[in-house]
Amino acid sequence: MEPLNIQRLQSHPPLRPGQPTRPAPATSFAAQLNSALAPAPLKVSKHATARLSERNIVITDAEWARVTDKVNEAKAKGIRDSLVLMDQAALIVSAKNSTVITAMDRTEAKDQLFTNIDGTIILS
C-alpha cells in the first residue's frame, strides 16, 4: 500500500498586492434577521389616503395601532394581502409591504367582491 499524498488547499485565493479586500458586513446576520422580523409601521398609500379623505373616514391613532398590530400578526403567519374589516371602514392591506392599499366605508364594502386576498382581519 502506497502512502497517501495529502496537500493542503487554501480556502480562498491569495490576495495580490493592490487587490481590494472585501469589506466586513455592516451588520450581523442576527441583526438583519431581527430587523426583518420586527413589527413594521403601517404606511398608507396615496390612493388609500385619497379614498379615506373622499369618503370622510376617520381612523383614530388607537385604531391604527390595533390595525398595525393585527397586520403584523398576520404577516408573521404568512399572510400577504388582507382585508381588514373595522366598524366604519374596510381596508385592503399588503401585509408583505405593510401598506394600506385602499379604503372604503362599510356600506360600500358590503356590495363588493374582494379578490387576491389571503387573509381577513375583523376588528370591532
Q: How far apart are CA 95 and CA 116, in angstroms?
A: 13
Q: How far apart are CA 58 and CA 88, in angstroms?
A: 8
For residue 31, the model assigns a pLDDT of 79
Q: Output the pTM of the full model.
A: 0.70
Q: Are 117 and 92 in contact (CB under 8 A)?
A: yes
For residue 101, the model assigns a pLDDT of 97
For residue 2, the model assigns a pLDDT of 64
pLDDT tens series, the chain, 124 aa: 666 666 665 566 666 666 666 666 667 888 777 776 677 789 999 999 999 999 999 999 999 999 999 999 999 999 999 999 999 999 999 999 999 999 999 999 998 999 999 999 999 8
Q: How far apart are CA 58 and CA 2, in angstroms?
A: 85
For residue 89, the model assigns a pLDDT of 96
What is the number of alpha carbons within 13 Å of residue 75 lying toward its C-beta? Answer: 20
